[in-house]
């Protein structure tokens, strides 16, 4: 018995080590030497094969160019990486084919594991609303653990594109409008994906995308041109990329857009001067799907031969699906247009990652049946998804403390087109499991916690319906209940890639339905499910309680029920500004004051506003309510003037003055009052998310150093300038509770 007993723990330990064994990483010098030896044996075609990436057919994330026999190409060493191949059987089969190639160079398997693999987590913009770096990192860690167990080496995430335009469908994939919050989240996601390092089989390579400034597409139209000053590029759009790189991101992905007339994929300033030059990036750059070939329709290259020439010179290392490299690089070398050294550099960068992943030691170390079976969909992963989902929910309004739902509520009417939404709950970038998924809808989540409360349901209308034919049934359901919970918004496929919307109002007749239900006189709570900020002004002005739930993933319904029933006190804060209407876009909190600043709440009178609308957004960056209230007091600065080398300590007291325990995101903003070039009216420079019990107080401290006072001047030098700074501490960018000023002396 003893022997058998002893055996079991050893087996378990053995299994665990097989799964997450941290290979004794060979030294960087040894890796470089191995690469040199291998490259000495490689033909030009074999080198170019390493720069070529094709998609599998299981999932399609771009225009499919499904020509030729990919399996034979793998055996012939013409492919270095595949995407959209998942599951240990498929990855093992393709890796076996790669082992039949002359030099047996293993394939890299990449996948868009954007917010979860088997367990789907909230969309990234929702997670950004949690302002909880630990939860965000955990989300990425779970995604990496599941994906790597399923044979995937590399995720095309985090997407770190800052955006100030909710018409752009891909805001759902990023971290919103602020460079500081975006940088913190980029770091958390890279750290989560790569875990303890690429030598571990539960780590996947991160891929920071889309380099760069893709989120500034003119008109919010996906793939559209981007035109901005280099000072704006450096000040706002690059910092999250640099934060991801500093966190050790293994790869970058370039973007579809032109930047000031030059396609990112052919942009030496971005990829060579900044990324591989100034930032000394030693990983590799993969093009976004077909972006090398798209230099032809951009009008930058006459054909794919020229496009390949521009791209390899500009530092694009791997060609995703455009076939420009595999079809033209050899000729470019033979014609003396491309120096073999450029190709060797790209090959070395890619082989370096394959060695760091341990794929040359064991090409199959990620394709492990036992590992996949025992790792996917673990209860603790579902719990992690539920936890970050709760934290991502933003309470926008709660008149007369309608929420949380009173315990003695006898009946609740669940009304609206998204009450029973399941696949939508997963958002745009989720991995499809052919209905093997269990997604908790709002309806199911409420049912599981309803206890003796009776639930009645009526759809009322569909998301894009124009008909009000089913309003009567919904009104009847509302009249029969004590309280109404409505679920409205947009479909998950109305945001995401290639899903820009010119009109971001609630689609269809949903707001008419809300008006009809509100007219019954019953207390109404509206939940808005969406992948972007939406416009719903009537609802915002007339309905007593509004909760923004985004798309929360597998555990969405449970997380929402936890909040509505009061098991979790909502703590989310908006990572993006919500406009009153599309006409305000772009609207963001860190704007410049102008020479004629407009009043927030007044129409323009020879000031920088509108004559038909106030300047104020509907909801501000950093806004979100709680079931409790927080008091800010006792602001102190360690000194009221400082030299460059000093550190300024800021402290204040935060108190929970309500009856519920809750978390508050205390935000620190600065304004550089006079500077050349001018600086925004405020900029987020730090934040802390703090849990406080009712009546509990804590002293919160921030430290301001020179870096937080610095900015890029018009020479793109990172400088700070002496002068006055205004300091704001608050619960939102438009809810300043404490304010002081200090002076930077030199
Ligand atoms: C898509 C996206 C990119 C994604 C890639 C692979 O077009 O732009 O974010 O990683 O193709 O699916």
Burial 4-31 (b: 16+ CB within 10 A, else e): eeeeeeeeeeeeeeebbeebeebeeeeb
Q: What is the 3-state secondary structure (H, E, C) of 590-611?
A: CCCCCCCCCCCCCCCCCCCCCC
pLDDT band at 66 (very low <50, low <70, confident <90, very high): low
Residues 435 and 505 in one domain: yes
- The token duo for 24 is 């004794």
Residues 400 and 360 in one domain: no
Number of folded domains in the chain?
A: 3
**161 in ligand 1 pocket by Cβ < 6 Å?**
no
Average pLDDT over residues 424-429: 96
Q: To test ligand 1's pocket by mutation, which of 257, 264, 497 has the most ligand atoms within 8 angstroms of CB?
A: 497
Protein residue with least CA distance to atom 8, ligand 1: 288
Residues 554 and 468 in one domain: yes
pLDDT digits (tens, 9 = 90+) for 306-351: 999 999 999 999 999 999 999 999 999 999 999 999 999 999 999 9
Per-residue pLDDT at 267: 98
Residues 559 and 643 in one domain: no
Taking the CA atoms of 282, 283, 284 and 286 in sequence, report the sign of the dihedral they define: negative
Looking at the predicted structure, is the pLDDT value of residue 21 above 80? no
Average pLDDT over residues 163-178: 98
- The token duo for 349 is 């960068």
Protein residue with least CA distance to atom 3, ligand 1: 288
**429 in ligand 1 pocket by Cβ < 6 Å?**
no
Residue 487 phi, psi dihedral angles, 5° rounding: -125, 110
Percent of the chain topping pLDDT 90: 89
In a domain, 414, yes or no: yes
Residues 482 and 414 in one domain: yes
pLDDT band at 2 (very low <50, low <70, confident <90, very high): very low
CA 61 to centroid of ligand 1, rounded, Å = 6
Per-residue pLDDT at 10: 37
State the CATH number of the domain containing residue 687: 2.60.40.10
Looking at the predicted structure, is the pLDDT value of residue 393 above 50? yes
Residues 300 and 405 in one domain: no
pLDDT band at 75 (very low <50, low <70, confident <90, very high): very high
**Is 690 in a helix, a strand, or coil?**
strand
- The token duo for 113 is 């594991």
Residues 352 and 239 in one domain: yes
Domain enclosing residue 445, as ranges: 394-564
Residues 439 and 363 in one domain: no
What positions carry a catalytic annotation? Answer: 288
Looking at the predicted structure, is the pLDDT value of residue 4 above 70? no
In order, the DSSP letters of 404-467 are SPPTT--EEEEESTTTT--GGGG-SS----TT------HHHHHHHH-TT-EEEEE--S-TT---
Residues 89 and 127 in one domain: yes
pLDDT band at 20 (very low <50, low <70, confident <90, very high): very low
Domain boundary among 338, 372, 406: 372
Residue 537, H or E segment? helix 537-542
Per-residue pLDDT at 68: 65
Residues 291 and 437 in one domain: no
Residues 363 and 420 in one domain: no
Atom of ligand 1 nearest to the CA of 112: 10
Looking at the predicted structure, is the pLDDT value of residue 8 above 50? no
In a domain, 197, yes or no: yes
pTM for the model? 0.96
| Residue 503 burial (CB count, 10 A) | 11
In a domain, 464, yes or no: yes
User: Which residue's structure tokens are 């919970």?
Assistant: 485
pLDDT digits (tens, 9 = 90+) for 593-603: 999 999 988 89
In a domain, 135, yes or no: yes
Measured between alpha carbons, how far is 64 from 252 in angstroms, rounded to an integer? 22
In a domain, 11, yes or no: no
Residues 211 and 297 in one domain: yes
């Amino acid at each position: 018995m003893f022997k058998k007993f002893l055996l079991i723990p050893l087996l378990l330990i053995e299994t665990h080590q097989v799964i997450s064994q941290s290979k004794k990483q060979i030294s960087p010098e040894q890796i470089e030497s191995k690469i040199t030896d291998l490259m000495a044996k490689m033909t030009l075609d074999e080198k170019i094969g390493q720069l070529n990436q094709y998609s599998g057919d299981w999932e399609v994330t771009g225009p499919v160019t499904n020509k030729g026999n990919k399996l034979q190409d793998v055996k012939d060493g013409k492919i270095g990486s595949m995407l959209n191949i998942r599951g240990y059987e498929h990855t093992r089969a393709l890796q076996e084919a790669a082992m039949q190639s002359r030099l047996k160079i293993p394939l890299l398997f990449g996948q868009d594991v954007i917010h979860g693999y088997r367990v789907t987590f909230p969309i990234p913009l929702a997670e950004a609303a949690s302002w909880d770096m630990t939860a965000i990192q955990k989300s990425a860690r779970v995604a990496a653990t599941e994906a790597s167990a399923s044979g995937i080496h590399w995720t095309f995430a985090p997407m770190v594109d800052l955006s100030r335009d909710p018409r752009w469908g891909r805001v759902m994939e990023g971290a919103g409008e602020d460079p500081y919050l975006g940088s913190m989240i980029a770091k958390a996601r890279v750290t989560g994906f790569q875990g303890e390092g690429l030598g571990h089989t539960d780590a996947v390579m991160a891929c920071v995308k889309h380099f760069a400034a893709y989120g500034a597409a003119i008109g919010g139209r996906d793939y559209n041109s981007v035109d901005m000053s280099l000072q704006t590029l450096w000040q706002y759009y690059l910092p999250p990329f640099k934060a991801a790189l500093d966190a050790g991101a293994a790869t970058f992905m370039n973007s579809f857009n032109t930047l000031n007339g030059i396609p990112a994929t052919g942009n030496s300033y971005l990829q060579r001067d900044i990324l591989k030059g100034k930032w000394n990036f030693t990983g590799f750059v993969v093009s976004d799907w077909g972006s090398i070939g798209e230099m032809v329709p951009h009008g930058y290259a006459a054909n794919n031969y020229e496009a390949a020439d521009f791209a390899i010179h500009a530092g694009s290392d791997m060609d995703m699906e455009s076939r420009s490299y595999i079809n033209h690089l050899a000729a470019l070398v033979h014609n003396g247009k491309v120096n073999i050294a450029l190709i060797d550099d790209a090959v070395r960068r890619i082989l370096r990652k394959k060695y760091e992943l341990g794929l040359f030691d064991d090409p199959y170390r990620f394709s492990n049946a036992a590992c996949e079976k025992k790792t996917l969909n673990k209860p603790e992963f579902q719990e992690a998804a539920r936890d970050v989902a709760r934290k991502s929910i933003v309470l926008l309004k709660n008149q007369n403390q309608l929420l949380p739902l009173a315990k003695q509520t006898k009946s609740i009417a669940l009304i609206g087109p998204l009450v029973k939404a399941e696949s939508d709950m997963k958002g745009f970038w989720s991995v499809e499991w052919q209905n093997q998924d269990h997604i908790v809808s709002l309806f199911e989540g409420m049912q599981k916690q309803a206890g003796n409360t009776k639930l009645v349901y009526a759809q009322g209308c569909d998301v894009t319906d124009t008909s009000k034919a089913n309003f009567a049934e919904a009104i009847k359901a509302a009249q029969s209940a004590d309280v109404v919970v409505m679920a409205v918004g947009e479909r998950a496929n109305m945001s995401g890639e290639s899903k820009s919307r010119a009109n971001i109002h609630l689609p269809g007749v949903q707001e008419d339905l809300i008006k009809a239900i509100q007219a019954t006189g019953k207390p109404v709570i509206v939940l808005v499910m969406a992948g972007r900020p939406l416009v719903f002004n009537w609802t915002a002005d007339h309905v007593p309680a509004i909760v923004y739930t985004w798309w929360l993933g597998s555990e969405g319904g449970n997380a929402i029920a936890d909040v509505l029933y009061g098991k979790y006190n909502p703590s989310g804060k908006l990572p993006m500004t919500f406009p009153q209407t599309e006409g305000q876009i772009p609207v963001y909190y860190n704007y410049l004051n102008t020479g004629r600043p407009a009043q927030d709440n007044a129409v323009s009178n020879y000031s920088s506003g509108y004559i038909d609308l106030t300047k104020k957004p509907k909801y501000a960056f950093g806004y979100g309510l709680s079931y409790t209230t927080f008091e800010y007091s006792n602001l102190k600065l360690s000194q009221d003037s400082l030299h460059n080398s000093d550190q300024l300590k800021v402290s204040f007291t935060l108190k929970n003055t309500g009856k519920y325990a809750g978390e508050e995101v205390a935000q620190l903003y600065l304004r550089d009052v006079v500077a050349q070039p001018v600086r925004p009216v405020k900029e987020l420079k730090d934040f802390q998310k703090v849990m406080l019990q009712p009546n509990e107080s804590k002293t919160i401290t921030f430290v301001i150093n020179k870096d937080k006072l610095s900015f890029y001047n018009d020479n793109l030098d990172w400088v700070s300038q002496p002068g006055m700074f205004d300091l704001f501490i608050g619960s939102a960018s438009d809810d300043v509770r404490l304010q002081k000023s200090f002076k930077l002396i030199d």
